[in-house]
Amino acid sequence: MELIKQNSTNQIIKSILIILLGSLLLTLSAKIKIPFYPVPMTMQTFVVLLLGISFGYKIALTTVGLYLIEGMLGLPVFSNTPERGIGMVYFTGPTMGYLIGFLSACFLSSFIKSKDSYLLIFTKLILSVSSIYLLGILWLGSLIGWDKPIIELGVKPFLLAEFFKIVLLTVIAKKIINLRKVI
């Protein structure tokens, strides 16, 4: 009985550490800008998808949820903060839909399995990241008006970078899942 209690406590501590480190990794991925065309690339969406693949939807959703709460509370965790504001002012701005989309993306990416073919993994990742952009353009259109070129503003500049990140994740996904089984 004591051994079961100890294992349960260890698992809780391990989960908390993963969530905290995942939130830190998300923050770092938002702050580092990689020169890319046509806009600089951050690795946020990569990390969001990676969390789902690596730890499953419970840990991934909790991690992304913590990250979003940190940002809403005013910690400068989001990309372009504090330069463009912090807290709810930033969160409810043009990127809110994309940020909320992180939740759906990490959830969807958690359904990638090691037995999946590379084509299926690629497809699941495309669907996962598409949920970010769907929620992002829905919010952006509501915020700035549907008469604006929403796709050209909120999707098109990021497609090449997203393709790069999805290809990279497709290649390493099976290794990540197999590593998770060992840990």
C-alpha span between 96 and 89 (Å, rounded): 10
Q: Residue 35's pLDDT band (boundaries 50, 70, 90)?
A: confident
Q: Which carries the bigger pLDDT value, residue 3 or residue 104? A: 104
Q: Let me know if 78 is exposed, middle or buried by CB neighbors in 10 A (0-12, 13-18, 19+).
A: buried
**Of the ranges 17-21, 82-86, 133-137, which one carries the lowest mean pLDDT score?**
82-86
Q: Is 36's pLDDT higher than 90? A: no
Residue appearing with tokens 């419970």: 58
Residues 44-61 have a mean pLDDT of 97
**Do residues 158 and 132 lie in contact, with contact meaning Cβ atoms separated by under 8 Å?**
no
Which CATH number does the domain 2-182 belong to among 1.10.1760.20, 3.30.360.10, 3.90.1150.10, 3.30.530.20? 1.10.1760.20
Whole-prediction pTM value? 0.92
Residues 6 or more apart whose CB falls under 8 angstroms from that of 102 comprise: 44, 45, 48, 64, 67, 68, 132
Residue 137 has pLDDT above 80, yes or no: yes
Cα-Cα-Cα-Cα dihedral sign, residues 144, 149, 155, 160:
negative
